[in-house]
Amino acid sequence: MKKELQEKLVGFPIEEFRHNLLSWYKAEKRDLPWRMDQDPYKIWVSEIMLQQTRVDTVIPYFHNFIEKFPTIEALATADEEDVLKAWEGLGYYSRVRNLHAAVKEVKEVYGGIVPNTPEEISKLKGVGPYTRGAILSIAYDIPEPAVDGNVMRVFSRILSIWEDIAKPKSRKTFEDATYELISKEDPSSFNQAVMELGALICTPTSPSCLLCPVREQCTAFEEGVQAELPVKSKKKKPKPLQMAAVVLYDEQGKLYIHKRPSSGLLANLWEYPNVEIDADSEKTYREQLNQFLLEEYTVEADLSELVGTVEHIFSHLIWNISVFVGKINNQPNKDLLPVTLEELQKYAFPVSHQKIYRLYEAEGTAGR
DNA sequence: TACTCGTGGCT
DNA sequence: TAGCCAAGAGT
């Protein structure tokens, strides 16, 4: 442990902090669906869904996912297409691909029981230091730190830690702090209580210090610097990218969709044919799209005029998509799958391509 | 380490 | 409104 942290912990009222925090948590904790029991599988699923994702967003996905895949066995034997569909719209899709693979491993290697040692659980795909600690503490009552953004924010204020929480190496400081402060009697409630406090009281902007159960133990509040903490360096702006996409249809009213590669952005999701536009080219967007369709899919199509644009903002990218529709005149190659509108419902699309479909729908009702 | 990897809500 | 933010992990 770093010397600065050790010094901060000397004389810190640990017992009062724990007691006040846990009493508050027991009285005020939210009634969340993954808090109904201590099923390690359900806690695992919830922790993966909650990564970089708000509680209110996760709740309906969690209900649906557990209904469709109630057990390790059910998820392990499910089709990847169905699993991805249950994640559609949640984002960070590698989470569910890794979860699916890890659940299969738990079934095969651990007899369907989620392992309860740091070493074994860390080997599972998609389980990093936070999720490891969360499962061990919440499902198995083992006093391990589960350091997420909430924990770093809360402890940076409680202990006046001025390290940049955006830097990966500062995580260790907060893990060290947690080892010292965590309740050995109820590590599950302790870890959840710190996160709950971060979500409800010790919020990023304008924390509700007057309602805080550990205000008396908070060194940042004592010094009036709670608004200056945590220190967090800024991330860079997303880079804009010009795209063109087309919803292709044929005489039978089938649509033509493409499965994205198994790695990278939106891996394994389906999409409407699209290409990055060269803004410096002499060719129009429509001409560039036509050329791409021919070269990539051997498609000859009558493209419409522009039917609309879709903007979609990722963490690191902005897609500006010009959308066309097109009647297909020949048989495309195997990289393009013809589907009926009913079949379309089985495939998972990123939100950006759901928006593209809506433009096609609107265009259809308008004229075609 | 720094970058990739989604989405929607909030200020 | 433009940025910021949310129970992070993989590479």
- pLDDT 10s digits, A23-50: 999 999 999 999 999 999 999 999 999 9
Q: Give the CA A68 to C1' B11 distance in Å.
A: 37
Quick one: pLDDT at residue A365? 64
Q: Is the whole-model pTM more than 0.85?
A: yes
Q: Domain range for residue A173?
A: 3-223
**Domain shared by A146 and A290, yes or no:** no
Residues of A with catalytic function: 47
A224 is near strand B: CB distance < 7 Å: no
Q: How far is CA A356 from CA A72, A220, A247, A251, in A?
A: 35, 48, 8, 20
User: Where is the domain boundary, A157, A188, A223?
Assistant: A223
- Residue A367: pLDDT over 80: no
Confidence category of residue A137, pLDDT binned at 50, 70, 90: very high
Quick one: pLDDT at residue A328? 96
A265 is near strand B: CB distance < 7 Å: yes
Mean per-residue pLDDT for A329-346? 96
- Residue A366: pLDDT over 70: no
**Domain shared by A143 and A253, yes or no:** no
- Residue A64: pLDDT over 60: yes
Q: Give the CA A110 to C1' C8 distance in Å.
A: 25
A55 in any annotated domain? yes
A181 in any annotated domain? yes
Could you identify the residue whose CA is nearest to the C1' atom of nucleotide B3? Answer: A316
A52 is near strand B: CB distance < 7 Å: yes
- Cβ atoms within 10 Å of A338's Cβ, excluding its own: 16
A115 in any annotated domain? yes
**Domain shared by A194 and A285, yes or no:** no
**Domain shared by A98 and A195, yes or no:** yes
| Mutual angle of helices A94-109 and A40-50, in 10-degree steps | 160
Closest nucleotide to A91 by C1' from CA: B6
Quick one: pLDDT at residue A248? 97
Token pair listed for A350:
């990123």
A138 is near strand B: CB distance < 7 Å: no
Closest nucleotide to A315 by C1' from CA: B6
The total of structural domains in chain A comes to: 2
Confidence category of residue A368, pLDDT binned at 50, 70, 90: low
Q: What is the pLDDT of residues A91-128, one digit of tens each?
A: 999 999 999 999 999 999 999 999 999 999 999 999 99
- Percentage above 90 pLDDT, chain A: 96
User: Where is the domain boundary, A162, A191, A223?
Assistant: A223
**Domain shared by A89 and A179, yes or no:** yes
Q: What is the CATH number of the domain that holds A267?
A: 3.90.79.10
Quick one: pLDDT at residue A363? 82
Could you identify the residue whose CA is nearest to the C1' atom of nucleotide C11? Answer: A264
**Domain shared by A186 and A263, yes or no:** no
Q: How far is CA A268 from CA A259, A262, A349, in A?
A: 6, 5, 9
> Which nucleotides on chain C have any atom < 7 A from a protein Cβ?
3-10
A236 is near strand B: CB distance < 7 Å: yes
**Domain shared by A202 and A308, yes or no:** no
Quick one: pLDDT at residue A143? 98
Could you identify the residue whose CA is nearest to the C1' atom of nucleotide B8? Answer: A57
- Percentage above 70 pLDDT, chain A: 99
Q: What is the pLDDT of residues A246-303, one digit of tens each?
A: 999 999 999 999 999 999 999 999 999 999 999 899 999 999 999 999 999 999 999 9
**Domain shared by A265 and A165, yes or no:** no
A312 is near strand B: CB distance < 7 Å: yes
A264 in any annotated domain? yes
**Domain shared by A156 and A275, yes or no:** no
Q: How far is CA A9 from CA A4, A125, A164, A176, A181, in A?
A: 9, 35, 19, 11, 9
Closest nucleotide to A89 by C1' from CA: B7
Q: How far is CA A136 from CA A121, A190, A225, in A?
A: 9, 13, 34
A230 in any annotated domain? no
Q: What is the pLDDT of residues A223-236, one digit of tens each?
A: 999 999 999 998 88
Q: Give the CA A205 to C1' B9 distance in Å.
A: 14
Q: Give the CA A166 to C1' B4 distance in Å.
A: 16
**Domain shared by A209 and A269, yes or no:** no
Q: Give the CA A265 to C1' B5 distance in Å.
A: 6
Q: Give the CA A169 to C1' B1 distance in Å.
A: 9
Coil, strand, or helix at residue A74? Answer: helix
A234 in any annotated domain? no
User: Where is the domain boundary, A223, A250, A268?
Assistant: A223
A205 is near strand B: CB distance < 7 Å: yes
Q: What is the CATH number of the domain that holds A103?
A: 1.10.340.30
A45 in any annotated domain? yes
Q: What is the pLDDT of residues A182-224, one digit of tens each?
A: 999 999 999 999 999 999 999 999 999 999 999 999 999 999 9
A164 in any annotated domain? yes
Q: Which residues of A299-333 are buried (b: 16+ CB within 10 A; e: fewer)?
A: bebebbeebbebebeeeeeebebbbbbbebeeebe
Q: Give the CA A89 to C1' B8 distance in Å.
A: 10
Mean per-residue pLDDT for A154-180? 96
**Domain shared by A182 and A41, yes or no:** yes
**Domain shared by A297 and A334, yes or no:** yes
